[in-house]
Structures are given as C-alpha cells and as structure tokens.
Amino acid sequence: MEPKTKVKVQNPKDLEKTRKAIVEGKKAAEKVIRVCIGTGCAAKGSKRLYELFCEAAKESEQNIKIETKCVGCHGFCERGPIVVIEPGNIFYQRVEEPDVAEIFRETVLGGRVVDRLLYEDPTSGKKATTEEEIPFYKVQHRIVLAGNGVIDPTNIEDYISIGGYSALAKALTEMTPEQIIDEVEKSGLRGRGGGGFPTARKWRSCHEAEGEMKFVICNGDEGDPGAFMDRSIMEGNPHSVLEGMIIGAYAIGASQGYIYVRNEYPLAVEHLTRAIEQSREWGFLGENIFGSGFHFDIRINRGGGAFVCGESTALIASLEGRAGEPRAKYVHTVEHGLKDLPTNLNNVETWTNIPAIITHGGSWFESIGTDGSKGTKVFSLVGKITNTGLVEVPMGIRLRQIVEEIGGGVKEGNAFKAVQTGGPSGGCIPTQFLDAPVDFDELTKLGSMMGSGGMIVMDEDTCMVNVAKYFLNFLKEESCGKCTPCREGIPQMLHILEKITKGEGEPGDIEKLEALGELVSEASLCALGKTAANPVLSTIKYFREEYETHIREKRCPAKECRGLFSYKINPEVCTGCGICKRTCPVEAISGEKKNPHKIDQSKCTKCGACFEKCPFTAIEKV
C-alpha cells in the first residue's frame, strides 16, 4: 500500500474556501477562449484550433492574461467546431484553422466581433452574438448539461468553481441517507435509461436490502444508435457523474461503484479515469469522505460491444466476467445483484441529476415537467433535421417545439414524416401526434417510448418499412440468443420485412408480422426482446398503407427500396456528359455526347449506379 497522503479537502468549509479562491484566481484572466472538443467538433479538427489559440496566446506581446481551454459538447454539433470568447460570451460557429488569427486579433485582443463567424438565423437572417440569442438554445432548460461547454472536463477546479461537490458536502454532512432518499423521492426523478422507474424507490429498496457489501453501478453503455447524450455528459462533465454516484452510494450504503462505459467511447473513458484520480486526490473518493466516516471508491469497466449489456442484469453478468445474458426480473438486483449482493444501477443522466436535486431541493426539481415526468430530458436530435445536436428540454414540451423551434424543421424543405424515439425498443410517432408532450407515459401510449433519448427525425424520403427492417436487423445481431422468442422471432419478422422491401411481399404478411410481434413481446425474457417488435408494430400502426403499397403494388412510395421504383433522366438537366452511360453495367443508357441521355426501362436493373455517379443530379427516382 502507498502511504496515505493528505487529501486536499477535509470538510465543507475547506471546499467553500477553495472554491472562492479558484473563482478569485479565475478573475485574473481577462479573456477566456473556450474551444469545444466534444466528438462532433473534435472530428472537424477542433483540437488543432485549441493548439493554434494556445500558440497565439503565447506569442502575443500584449500584456493581458488569457485562459485558453477545452470544453465539453455545447450540443449544437451541426455548427461545429464551436469557439466561445469571454467576455461577452461571443459564440463562433463553423470555425476553421484560418479563422483563428482573425478571432484572436479582432475579438480577443481588439474586443470586436467577427460578424461572419456568428450564427445567422436561416429564416430571419438575423445574426446571434451569444448562445442565448440562438433559437436552438432558447427553449432549452439545462440542468444536466449546465456545465457542458463551460468547464474544462479534465480540470476538477473548474468543476468546483461552478459549485461542484458542494451537493456532496451538503449530503454527507447535513443529511442522513434516509433524508437524501426522501429528497430524491420528492423530486419525482425517474430513471433516464429507458424504463423510467422511480429512482427513489430503487434506492430505498437497495438501502433496506441486507448484504455484507453493496454496490452502485453507472450504466454508461449507451447503445441506442443515434443517441449520444450520455457520452457527451461523461466526456464533458465527468465529475457530475461521480458526484451523483457518491451521493447515491452514501444514501444506499454502498462501498464500491462501477462505471460501465461503452467500448466505442475512448474519450469518455479517458475523462472519467482522470476525474476519478482527481476526486481521490481531493478526498471526494476514498476513505472517510468529508470526515463522515463514509468510504467509497469507483472503478471503470469498458464494455465489450454488446447492445444487450444496456439491460441491467446483462450488464451485471458482464461485470462478473461472463457473456452478457440477462436473467429473469423476479430476482431483483437491488437485493441480489453484482456478486449476488444488493446493487443499485442507474443510467448516466439519472446520476447527473442528483447533485442538482440535493443543491436546489426536491421540490425545485418537482416544479419542472408534467404530473408523471419531472425535470428535464436530454435528447440527441438527429436525422433529417436542420439543426442536429444535443438538446435538454423540460418534460412536457411538445414534440413539435423540439422539431420545429429547436431543430429548425426538416432539412432541405422536405415534409416531416415521423420522429423515432426510444431507439430499437421504441417506435415512430407520425405528424398527427406532433403536439404530444414529452412524457414517459404519453410516449408509451403512442406506441413508442422515452427511451434513453435518441430522437431521429424522418422525412418523406424515408421508407418506414425500411426503417423497421433496419431496427430488426440491428436487434437480430444484438439478441443474446438466450431465449427462443427473441432469438427465433426477430429473424422471422426480419425475413418477412426483407421480402416486402424486395417486392416479394404477399397478402397476409402484415398480419403475420403483427402476430409474431405480439408473441415476441409477450414471451421474451428481457426488455430487448419485449420491445423488439415496437419499431415494426408502430410503423404498421401509423403507416400501414406504406406496407400495403409495397406488397400490392410492388412500389416504394418513399423511393428507397431498391427495385420498387425506377430511374429517369431529366432531359432539362442532363448535359450529355456520358458518365451514366459508361457507369451502367447493363448498357441500358443511350444518347449522343452533349445531348440528353435516356434509360431503356426494359434493360434497367434499377441498380442505381447511374444515380450515384451523375454529377448534375439529372437522374430522378420515379
């Protein structure tokens, strides 16, 4: 064992004193440059921007103090890379390397705004100087994402400066475990991982369960395709996850915590690992935290890449070094979980809500949202939408507001068709229900679910049968194979969907899908199987006609299913360049150079090669 070193913070007074000192120290910096290094911005080269700003600050001969820092995801990924300059909170978007010198010279040194890098509202043409002026941010309500985009996720002092770990100090020195659970109960917080189970009820059961040792687990195995909220929290504000877990562990009486992070999220692992080390150093993890006599530590486990491990019992199996197969729910993990000991598992976003609830009180949290769904929810708004990104909205907000006000509507002027929530376990919600509120129970009533927060917008060019096929194919690959209805039922449904999208569908197929779907839902062991039919059943419910057109007319109305629509060359647009003619594998295209070409439909195999290659988009789907 290493010799015990003295931790930096012994009690709440220490913490407050330190916080004040950090805030005071920060005042010395006259200018702050914040560069987003969330995955979206980093993929577009924001790390290089950070280096260039650092160099510029170093080389500057002006005698001013400049703080340059990397921050977590701002959410507006569509407009990345994002750089914010203080004072003034000037919000620059789509910043590229050549812009750095100008921003530095004009804004950082000169205090002037670089107009061309500001966000411009596509409808009004109005420029926005700060985040608050941008419609994407206006209706958002940020609790979980409050620190994202503001603090450096690798610097614990930054987190402390915005009040970090003060909720932990309060919980450990002023509250009993029972009082904490009562406060969480008052807040009405429900699990953000998909199921929406009341958090306090789970905590209380685990608190009351008997066991020589107890565990808390943070489920960071965010598996729904199109969902990246949890990743952005773990990457952008890892200490908030830890703080929530430590408070929860104290309330439950757990001495060891685990964070199970998805394998595809290396930056989240890196930031969490660093946060844990810092937290130990400062005395927020380890022995006798805040002198309360409470001991707790956290370790990180990387997932192996299995969607089913998002299910709590499968995740626990994985933590025990076994294949991630779920078990029946009648054995409760709060009593018999990891290593057969009482275990409380919550999702990343759930844990992150805890510090805010302790700081501001359960009634404050309870005042936000609807009767059955309290607080906010983070969604990743993606798909055929103008403003792709991460949004945090109060529960009860209408879907329409998210899609139209925040998301800026469907891309390229196409018509909205549906929004898919809940990932592979969810369903599609069509236009007529766009005024439904975001609420656990309301979304379930519509045949979808809240899920972990993926919100995928689909337009008129999206074939709903193809969407259902995509999710079933995903689930077929990810079914663990333990129980028969899921293992065998999903491939059977997929087989029928494949037939339909190839134009081989038969009358009665829709009814077969419905019957199979019902069976798989009822007879499967875990939530993956129980909800597997949702994408199929909800699209049949709202888009039955589209299925029928595929089956009866062998036609795909959205023109997505290959073979169920034709290609035609628009003579007005065709320049006669001849690329399509050379590309066609069956010599179905004819025409003289510089004259409009034509497709011989009797020869055409509808492979789409010409469509992909035409540089003038003269080839249309009909």
Partner 1 sequence: MTIEELVVKYESDEGMLIPIMQDIQAEFGYLPAERLRELAKVLDVPLSRVYQVATFYASFRLAPKGQHEVTLCMGTVCYLKGADRIAASICEEYGIEPGGTTEDRLFTLQAVNCVGACALAPVMIVDGKYFDSVTPDGALKIISKLQPKEKSESEGS
Determine, following the binding rule CB under 8 A, whether residue 456 of this chain makes contact with partner 1: yes
Q: Which stretch binds partner 1 (CB under 8 A): 154-162, 225-233, 272-280, 570-578?
A: 225-233
**Could you give the CA distance from residue 324 to residue 40 in angstroms, rounded to a whole number?**
30
- For residue 67, what are the contacts with CB-CB under 8 A and spacing of at least 6? 26, 29, 31, 32, 33
Among 375, 454, 485, 591, binds partner 1 (CB under 8 A): 454
In the set 132, 208, 320, 506, which binds partner 1 (CB under 8 A)? 320
Q: Which residues of 580-617 are buried (b: 16+ CB within 10 A; e: fewer)?
A: bbeebeeebbebeeeeebebeeeebebbebbbeebeee
35, 77, 206, 429: which one contacts partner 1 (CB under 8 A)? 77
Q: How many CB atoms lie within 10 A of CB 530?
A: 18
CB of 184: closest distance to partner 1 in angstroms?
29
**Binding flag, residue 462, partner 1 (CB under 8 A):** yes
Stretch 487-516 residues interacting with partner 1 (CB under 8 A): none
Say whether residue 96 binds partner 1 (CB under 8 A): no
Please list the alpha-helical segments (H only) found in 28-104. 39-43, 46-59, 99-102
Q: Does 172 bind partner 1 (CB under 8 A)?
A: no
CB of 559 to partner 1, least distance (A): 13
Quickly list H helices, 209-311.
229-236, 238-252, 266-282
**Distance, CA of 219 to CA of 312 (rounded, Å):** 8
- Alpha-helical runs (H) found in 148-228: 156-161, 166-174, 177-187, 199-208
Distance (Å, whole) CA 398 – CA 162? 31
Among 13, 20, 25, 43, binds partner 1 (CB under 8 A): 43
Q: Which of 222, 442, 509, 546 binds partner 1 (CB under 8 A)?
A: 222
Would you say 301 or 444 has its CB closer to partner 1?
301
Which tokens hold the place of 431?
């236009």
Given a contact cutoff of 8 angstroms between Cβ atoms, the answer to whether 348 and 220 are in contact is yes
Asked if residues 529 and 439 have their Cβ atoms less than 8 Å apart, the reply is no
What is the Cα–Cα distance from 171 to 177, expressed in whole angstroms? 8
Q: Which of 176, 263, 367, 590 binds partner 1 (CB under 8 A)?
A: 263
Q: Which of 72, 191, 389, 591 binds partner 1 (CB under 8 A)?
A: 389
With binding defined as CB under 8 A, does residue 44 bind partner 1?
yes
Closest CB to partner 1 among residues 188, 389: 389
Which range of residues in 185-193, 289-297, 329-337, 450-458 is near partner 1 by CB under 8 A?
Answer: 450-458
Window of 34-42, 208-216, 274-282, 392-400 that interacts with partner 1 by CB under 8 A:
34-42
Q: Per the structure block, which two tokens stand in for 74? A: 């701002």
Contact footprint for partner 1 (CB under 8 A): 39-40, 42-44, 77-78, 80, 222-228, 231, 263-265, 301-307, 318-324, 339, 380, 382-384, 388-389, 420, 423, 454, 456, 458, 462, 467, 470-471, 474, 478, 480, 608, 612-613
